Amino acid sequence: MTDTHLVVGLEDGRQIMSPLNCYPRLIAASAAERQDFEISPFGIHWPTLDEDIGLSGMLRDQRSQNAVS
């Protein structure tokens, strides 16, 4: 994660980047909260933030319903 983007590296070497303003819970989170994540076959889960981001949604540019435009 950068200051402005969520960056996911895929097994085949590709990267997916999404602006953090697509995910208000991640923007509001502390650095420690952002680092507390779990990887699953379907995406990323932040248990302390109750946030789940699916890789398929990132590929389709599917943003959080509360995303900042």
**Bridge partners of residue 45, in order along the sequence:** 38, 52
- The per-residue pLDDT of the chain, averaged, comes to 86
pLDDT level of residue 62 (50, 70, 90 thresholds): low
Q: Count CB atoms within 10 A of the CB of residue 64.
A: 17
Cβ atoms of 47 and 36 closer than 8 Å: yes
Say what the pTM is: 0.74
Asked if pLDDT for residue 66 goes beyond 70, the answer is no
User: Does the pLDDT at position 31 exceed 60?
Assistant: yes
Query: Looking at this protein, which amino acid is placed at residue 18?
Result: S
Q: What is the pLDDT of residue 3?
A: 87
Nearest to 9 by CA among 45, 39, 50, 35: 39
d(CA 38, CA 56): 16
Task: Give the integer Cα–Cα distance in Å for 23 and 51.
Answer: 9
pLDDT > 60? residue 38 = yes
